[in-house]
Amino acid sequence: MKNVPMTTCPTASRRQFAKAASAAALLLAAGCSGDEKETKEKTTKNKEKTGMDFDELKEARRSVRQYAKSEITQDELEKIVTDALNAPSWKNTETTRYYAAATDAAKERMWKEALPGYNAASSANAAALVAVTYVPGESGFNAGKAVDDLGNAWGAYDCGLASSYFILAAKNRGWDTLIMGMRDGAKVKAILGIPEGEVLMSVIAVGKSAQPYMKRPRKPVAEVLKVR
Ligand SMILES: Cc1cc2nc3c(=O)[nH]c(=O)nc-3n(C[C@H](O)[C@H](O)[C@H](O)COP(=O)(O)O)c2cc1C
């Protein structure tokens, strides 16, 4: 098996993946030799191609933990969020909210104060750090009363769906992402001025990938789908 990129071996085992990941890290540290041309072509394609069909998009979107320096405009963020607004939500309540740190000052504070070292390092150089929240008591609620046992879990469900659309929309517009569930919620809220009542889910890094494309292995479909 070739070591990178993982596109050459989509059904690789987790052990093979771990091997490939460390080989890729070595290649990065060494300035990318070996499959450099193939890797660069794939990376460039993933970075620049927009308007993909779903088959391309689902393969192109991968969590990126190494970013090249870039900037994103408010207009571009608006386009991504406008795409994400197409996500379904409980009774179309649309309770997901986005708070973007896009200035150097706001991002620095997020990296220093609100993200654990691992995530701060993984999102370094990102163009924006977008906190995703939901307004509780609306999705899954009628006249202020929870309609079933799930209560605000419906808001979290909608937020996850919206986040899915967000990261795919970003990729479709040439941006890479990393969802970061590990974060200091109180600090994120303070830095970005998020209303106390909203529930913070994740912080999503948005930027331009500086790493080779790597697909993490997935479970066999039979393990997750049962048709009766
Ligand atoms: C809810 C959620 C929380 C996550 N939190 C983190 C995180 O804190 N740090 C991180 O590096 N990756 C995080 N990830 C990314 C996952 O590790 C990643 O999506 C998974 O390994 C599959 O890889 P892929 O996105 O490249 O397909 C998170 C993903 C989700 C959906």
3-class state of residue 73 by DSSP: coil
CA angle 196, 132, 99 (to 5 degrees): 75
Q: Which residue has the tokens 């890290």?
A: 25
Q: What is the average pLDDT score of the chain?
A: 86
137 domain residue, yes or no: yes
Burial class (CB in 10 A: 0-12, 13-18, 19+), 29: exposed
Are residues 2 and 86 both part of a single domain?
Answer: no
Position in ligand 1 atom list of the atom nearest CA 215 = 26
Better pLDDT: 171 or 10? 171
Measure 169 CA to ligand 1 centroid, in angstroms.
17
Residue nearest to atom 27 of ligand 1 (CA): 62
* Contact call for residues 89 and 162 (beta carbons, < 8 A): yes
Q: Which atom from ligand 1 is nearest to the alpha carbon of 214?
A: 26
| Ligand 1 neighbourhood includes 179 CB (under 6 angstroms) | yes
- Helix (H) or strand (E) run with residue 164 in it: helix 153-172
Q: How confident is the model at residue 15 (pLDDT cuts 50, 70, 90)?
A: low
Shared-domain flag, residues 96 and 190: yes
| Whether residue 144 sits in one domain with residue 89 | yes
**Span from the CA of 151 to the centroid of ligand 1 (angstroms):** 25
Confirm if 61 and 53 have CB atoms less than 8 A apart. no
- What was the pLDDT predicted at 51? 84
Q: Are residues 36 and 72 in the same domain?
A: no
CA dihedral 187, 87, 228, 226 (to 10 degrees): -40
What global pTM score does this model have?
Answer: 0.84
The stretches of 85-184 forming alpha helices (DSSP H) are 104-109, 117-122, 153-172
User: What is residue 8's predicted lDDT score, i.e. its pLDDT?
Assistant: 31
CA distance 126 to 132: 16
Task: Let me know whether 78 and 186 are in one domain.
Answer: yes
Cβ(203)–Cβ(184) below 8 Å: no
If you take atom 15 of ligand 1, which residue's CA is the nearest one? 179
Domain holding 91, by residue range, is 67-209
Q: What is the pLDDT of residue 20?
A: 54
In the predicted structure, residue 30 carries a pLDDT above the cut 80: no
Tokens of 172: 């479709």
Give residue 26's pLDDT.
Answer: 43
Least confident of 44-48, 131-135, 140-144, 206-210: 44-48
- 84 with 34, same domain: the answer is no
62 assigned to some structural domain: no
- Residues forming a β-bridge with 199: 134
Rounded distance, CA 78 to CA 67, Å? 21
If you take atom 8 of ligand 1, which residue's CA is the nearest one? 180
Task: Please report, rounded to a whole number, the percentage of residues in the chain having pLDDT higher than 90.
Answer: 78
101 pLDDT higher than 50? yes
Ligand 1 site, residue 181, Cβ cutoff 6 A: yes
Tokens representing 206 are: 């948005």
Pocket test for ligand 1, best of 46, 132, 178, 201 (most atoms within 8 A of CB): 178
Provide the sign of the torsion angle of the four alpha carbons 8, 14, 19, 24, taken in this order: positive
Band (pLDDT 50/70/90 cuts) for residue 110 is: very high
In this model, does residue 31 exceed pLDDT 70?
A: no
Same domain? For 111 and 174 the reply is: yes
